[in-house]
Amino acid sequence: MRRRTVAALLAVTASLLAGCTSGGPTLGGSAEHDAIFSREQTPKDRLPDDVMPLWDASTSRYVGEDSGGDHYWAAQDGARHVCIVARAADSVASYTASCGGGSISLTIGNVKVEFASAPQDLTAENAELIGDTLLVRRP
């Protein structure tokens, strides 16, 4: 179990560092970000304890599951940058994340994820809307 936890943390840390930029959206950055973080956190919103040290545990919010079975959360890091956190259906111990930047996007294999409020490439016509918060395009 310890080996899986360490592997998950390493995968998340590497993905997070690759996706982070200085600056970027923080709480108060958009109505959509404010809406998801302003609702009360429920037990389903919490990411696993071995993943949460990378984010402010009080900010994680479950967004939903896409048609391929991947799961998504929104969270904030210690600097209160908004992050997309994802867990692929075929990898329950590995999480990927992207934080910061004007328009946050995340690519997991061939799956592309963007906040619906500030998409770069995705639209309602070419992507699936998850939880009124994220656009997800699967191949």
Contacts of 115 (CB under 8 A, 6+ apart): 30, 32, 33, 82, 84, 103, 104, 133, 134, 135
136 belongs to a structural domain? no
Q: Kindly state the helix (H) or strand (E) to which residue 103 belongs, with its residue range.
A: none
State CA 128 to chain mean position distance.
15
Q: Is the pLDDT of residue 8 over 50?
A: no
Interatomic CA distance for residues 127 and 117, integer angstroms: 13
Residue 53 lies in a domain: yes
Structure tokens given for 124: 């309602």
Average pLDDT over residues 75-88: 87
Q: Which residue has the tokens 């560092």?
A: 17
Per-residue pLDDT band for 33 (boundaries 50, 70, 90) equals low
CB 82 within 8 A of CB 33: yes
In which domain, by residue range, is 13 found? Answer: 2-101
Strands 128-130 and 71-76: unpaired
Read off the pTM. 0.75
Largest CA distance in the chain: 43
Mean pLDDT is highest, among 41-50, 93-102, 126-135, for 126-135
DSSP 8-class letter at 122: -
